[in-house]
Structure 1
Amino acid sequence: MPQPPPRPPSQPLFTVTQDALVIADFGPRTRKPTTVGRRPHGPYRHLFAVPGARAFTAGNLVARLPMGMFSVSAVIMIAGSRGSYALAGAVTATGLAATAVVAPWTARLVDRYGQARIAVPATALAALGSLALLLCAHYGAPDWTLFAAYAATATTPNTGGMSRARWAHLLNGDEKALHTANSFEQAVDELCFMLGPVLAALLCGALFPEAGTLVGAVLMMTGVLLFTAQRSTEPPVRPGVEGLHPRGTSPLRAPGMRPLLAVCLATGAVFGSMEVVTIAFADERGHRAAAGAVLALQAAGSFAAGLLYGSLRPAGPAERRHRWCLAAMTALMALPLLAAALTGSLLVLAGALLVAGTATAPTMITNMTLVQSRTPEGRLNEGMTLAVTGLLGGIACGSAVGGWAAEQVSATAGFGVPVAAAASALLLSLLTPTLTNRGSFTRTSRPVEPVRPVRPVPPAPLA
């Protein structure tokens, strides 16, 4: 008896009952993908979908949090044990100067030998310096030992620069994703410098004066170990780079780098002067303890602006965006000056600082983008550390000028120093010639061979 042909699995089966027609579908049940009503993934979700990104970011966050703790912890610890804020300030200033000298050399070693091989011993040496400072302050060692111990912490590696180097390696030229990564890293910097002092003051006040330094050293060492353990995302060490920027070329000699570092110096002066002047203004009104919370609002505004700026698509060349950001920062830095001069209210000043802080992160994000683009291949950590060194030098100069203005004139007049520093940064940027993607910034994989003249071949003699 002939059998009916087999029914395809996707074809429904028809049958009839006494009073109804039944259609049975035995085909496989698959859910069709649909995009109706589904929101697209945000840029940060795409960013952390990169394999290994979450792991190295977590360790880096732990390592970077103490960066905002050490100075405050050292001041509280030394002033509490020696009774001298002048000594505490001199010790922290010495550590800052030592960091400005040593940090570029540490970054150069990181580029040459790899993050794990250099960052771990350098962090261990810095942690030992912090512990030595703790013991010298606690047991009443001579004052010169405090300077020597705190100077040893200058070997602390630039963990933020190493994280940015990993993003540049993983994203491999994706400018939009790199813009988001730089925005996230700058927001993390603001978050660490916002939470670090608060955590340090809480530990030193609730436990014992040395608690902030001790916890900071443990967090730094633990975070660097977790960060460097993620070897799959570590940028490879290149023995040599062909093209325009060989390995021997210093980032200082790269086209457009020195004017950019000068802008970093002026930008750092904005931060340093604003911090000192704000503390002096709060002290004049009898609310010195509230100065930390007021400054935290500026960091909070910068943190929020950094995350928002990273979610936007960058438009136009980075040089033009940098100038617009500097112009916005110059304009917004006038708000604290107006708030202090017109109202004299610390509460109004806090709101002005919150708004003024929104220009900080976009400026620093674009600045770091330019540093990355102008740094020679294989020297990225060194280039970004030079930018951080410029910022630290500017912070030191800005603190000195802002403190002088607040003491010799008034705290209100001191708010003119950040405005002048921001305007100087803008002027330096405007006077710097715009560099295009041709010429100075073109990187080639191998040098172009010169065209050799071809000797003409004589014609063969006729038979």
Structure 2
Amino acid sequence: MASAVTTTTPPVERAGYGRLLRTPGAWTFLLPGFAARLPFAMLTISIVLLLRPTTGSYGVAGAVAAVTGVSMALFAPRSGKLADRYGQSAVLVPGVLIHTASVTLLTALALGHAPLWSLFAAAVPTGASVPQIGPMVRARWAATLGHGTSGGSGTVGGHNPLMATAAAFESVTDELTFVIGPVLATALSTGLHPACGLLAEAALTLAGGLLFASRRRTAPPTDPAPSDTRGQRASALSIPGVRVLAAAFLGIGSVFGGMQVALTAFTQEHGQPGLNGLLYGVFAAGNMLAGVACGAIAWRTSPQRRLLVSYTALALTCSALWTVHAPLPLGGLGLLVGLCIAPTLITGYTLVEALVPATSRTEAFTWLTGSVALGQAAAVTAAGQLADGFGASAAFTVPLAGTALALVTVVALRGRIAPRAQTTRVFQRRPRVTT
């Protein structure tokens, strides 16, 4: 009788969006989290839309925006580590205050036609203080689902199948912010004043960040770095699997950055610059559709295998981008690239839950998002140089090179992203330590 019950109610078949969103306490951090992460999607384009008319140069505007991206990538992991140790609210509150002040300073310097070096100087704290809301939301999902609040029967071998659904949900949410954010920033900057987009980003960061920080009840447990275990003092990057995933996410960042520049150059070469937004929208739509589908599927293959398959597909689709010379086939290929990105991102974030102790997950997630930002900044620079010197086709080789190098790394070190039994036992002990 017991075996019959077990076979008729397999938990993996229930891991869908409906069950995920019924998780007790989920909405208390989801809605504030969306409001707080939306400004990040407005930051880069708002800087460009402000600095282009005030400096008269797209090159200067892009360089300042790139500095914010690199600064964020370098400082985000430190922010995540502090959040794991002292709590998300303790890091968020001063962080959003610093970010608001830095953005306000950058805006004032731009409007006052200040020297170029001062713009770069202000861009550093602007990027370094970007609130890491996405990683913090993912860490809250891991803490909430890991403690069995969504139903202890759904946890198998220390791993809740809803984590893959949560990773898919967060990927879709990220894409949604990058659909809404740039449109809102553009409307404000072009319809009202060039500074309005950046000022709105600062205001939304302040309001959304403080609201999210106030939701302490769903925050993950902190690690006060006890003296009896040296392993808990180490950075999440000391875990081999996290380093492999960071390399993989650098390649994903190269796709985002390379596509942005290459599509712009491509549409200009064809005398149809208005198609740029449409083509990039098709690319983003593929990402969103794949993200929705990934969360609805009851996966029976291991995350490690899914990552290898999806990354191989991503590299293969990127390898054909430079051969396309017409907008319609490029749109179709861009859709395929987008469809391959979401499964790769989602699986990577899912692996963190199995590889990293609960007290280091926020930092681990920030290493991954920082890797995407760093890869994107490098790709924007490289693709821009190639587009200027050799045309749009050459710029499309940046996603190819980035994903190919990352794929070689992931395949060669695939054993390091396989979840280990000892990691699972750490997760199973964690609730008893925190209660």
Give the 3 Å change call, closer, same or farther, for CA 149–420 of structure 1 in structure 2. closer
Give the 3 Å change call, closer, same or farther, for CA 295–370 of structure 1 in structure 2. same
Tell me, yes or no, if the aligned pair for 1:255 and 1:440 is still in contact at 8 Å. no
Tell me, yes or no, if the aligned pair for 1:123 and 1:157 is still in contact at 8 Å. yes
**Bigger relative contact order, structure 1 or 2 (CA pairs below 8 A, ≥6 apart):** 2
| Deviation of 1:362 (Å) | 0.7
Please state if 1:158 is matched with 2:143. no
Letter in 1 for 2:209: V
Alpha-carbon distance in structure 2 between the residues aligned to 1:123 and 1:270 = 29
Alpha-carbon distance in structure 1 between the residues aligned to 2:181 and 2:20 = 26
Give the 3 Å change call, closer, same or farther, for CA 243–312 of structure 1 in structure 2. farther
Alpha-carbon distance in structure 2 between the residues aligned to 1:213 and 1:304 = 29
| Deviation of 1:180 (Å) | 0.5
> Is the partner of 1:156 in helix, strand or coil?
coil
Letter in 1 for 2:129: T
Alpha-carbon distance in structure 1 between the residues aligned to 2:159 and 2:214 = 25
Letter in 1 for 2:44: S
Instruction: Note the alpha carbon deviations across 1:367-408, whole angstroms, 9 max, x for none.
Output: 112233222441111111111122122112222222233232
| Deviation of 1:233 (Å) | 0.9
Alpha-carbon distance in structure 2 between the residues aligned to 1:137 and 1:438 = 51
Match of 1:288 in 2: 273
Alpha-carbon distance in structure 1 between the residues aligned to 2:112 and 2:45 = 20
Please state if 1:78 is matched with 2:13. no
Match of 1:48 in 2: 21
Alpha-carbon distance in structure 1 between the residues aligned to 2:186 and 2:375 = 25
> Is the partner of 2:217 in helix, strand or coil?
helix
Please state if 1:406 is matched with 2:391. no
Letter in 1 for 2:74: V
How many residues are matched? 403
Which of 19, 24, 31 is matched with 1:58 structurally? 31
Tell me, yes or no, if the aligned pair for 2:15 and 2:162 is still in contact at 8 Å. no
Alpha-carbon distance in structure 2 between the residues aligned to 1:434 and 1:242 = 30
Deviates more, 1:98-107 or 1:413-422: 413-422
Which of 282, 293, 311 is matched with 1:326 structurally? 311
Which of 89, 96, 100 is matched with 1:116 structurally? 89
Instruction: Note the alpha carbon deviations across 1:206-236, whole angstroms, 9 max, x for none.
Output: 1110111011111111111221222221112
Deviates more, 1:298-307 or 1:46-55: 46-55
| Deviation of 1:255 (Å) | 3.0
Normalised to the residue count of structure 1, the TM-score between the two structures is: 0.82
Instruction: Note the alpha carbon deviations across 1:231-279, whole angstroms, 9 max, x for none.
Output: 2211122334799873212112113222222222222212211221111
Please state if 1:213 is matched with 2:198. yes
Alpha-carbon distance in structure 1 between the residues aligned to 2:308 and 2:388 = 33
Give the 3 Å change call, closer, same or farther, for CA 266–359 of structure 1 in structure 2. same
Match of 1:417 in 2: 398
Please state if 1:391 is matched with 2:372. yes
Alpha-carbon distance in structure 1 between the residues aligned to 2:265 and 2:321 = 13
Give the 3 Å change call, closer, same or farther, for CA 438–54 of structure 1 in structure 2. closer
RMSD of aligned Cα (Å): 2.2
Deviates more, 1:88-97 or 1:357-366: 88-97
> Is the partner of 1:69 in helix, strand or coil?
helix
Which structure features the higher share of helix residues?
2
Match of 1:194 in 2: 179
Tell me, yes or no, if the aligned pair for 2:99 and 2:130 is still in contact at 8 Å. yes
> Is the partner of 1:246 in helix, strand or coil?
helix
1:204-283 matches, cutoff 5 A: 204-240=189-225, 246-283=231-268
Instruction: Note the alpha carbon deviations across 1:427-449, whole angstroms, 9 max, x for none.
Output: 21111142444466454478xxx
Deviates more, 1:227-236 or 1:357-366: 227-236
Instruction: Note the alpha carbon deviations across 1:401-436, whole angstroms, 9 max, x for none.
Output: 222332322212432332232222222111114244
| Deviation of 1:171 (Å) | 0.5
Q: Return 5+ residue gaps in structure 2 as ranges.
A: 1-12, 147-157, 430-435
| Deviation of 1:346 (Å) | 2.1
Alpha-carbon distance in structure 1 between the residues aligned to 2:420 and 2:270 = 55
| Deviation of 1:200 (Å) | 1.2
Alpha-carbon distance in structure 1 between the residues aligned to 2:420 and 2:180 = 43
Letter in 2 for 1:330: A
Alpha-carbon distance in structure 2 between the residues aligned to 1:263 and 1:361 = 13
Q: Return 5+ residue gaps in structure 1 as ranges.
A: 1-39, 447-463
Alpha-carbon distance in structure 1 between the residues aligned to 2:19 and 2:227 = 32
Give the 3 Å change call, closer, same or farther, for CA 437–413 of structure 1 in structure 2. closer
Tell me, yes or no, if the aligned pair for 2:286 and 2:336 is still in contact at 8 Å. yes
Alpha-carbon distance in structure 2 between the residues aligned to 1:409 and 1:365 = 34
Give the 3 Å change call, closer, same or farther, for CA 425–315 of structure 1 in structure 2. farther
Normalised to the residue count of structure 2, the TM-score between the two structures is: 0.87
Please state if 1:426 is matched with 2:375. no
Give the 3 Å change call, closer, same or farther, for CA 225–259 of structure 1 in structure 2. same
Give the 3 Å change call, closer, same or farther, for CA 139–299 of structure 1 in structure 2. same
Alpha-carbon distance in structure 1 between the residues aligned to 2:25 and 2:360 = 23
Structure 1 segments of 4 or more deviating over 3 A? 240-246, 334-338, 435-446
Instruction: Note the alpha carbon deviations across 1:135-171, whole angstroms, 9 max, x for none.
Output: 1112222322222222122112210000000000110
Larger radius of gyration: 1
> Is the partner of 2:232 in helix, strand or coil?
coil
Match of 1:32 in 2: none
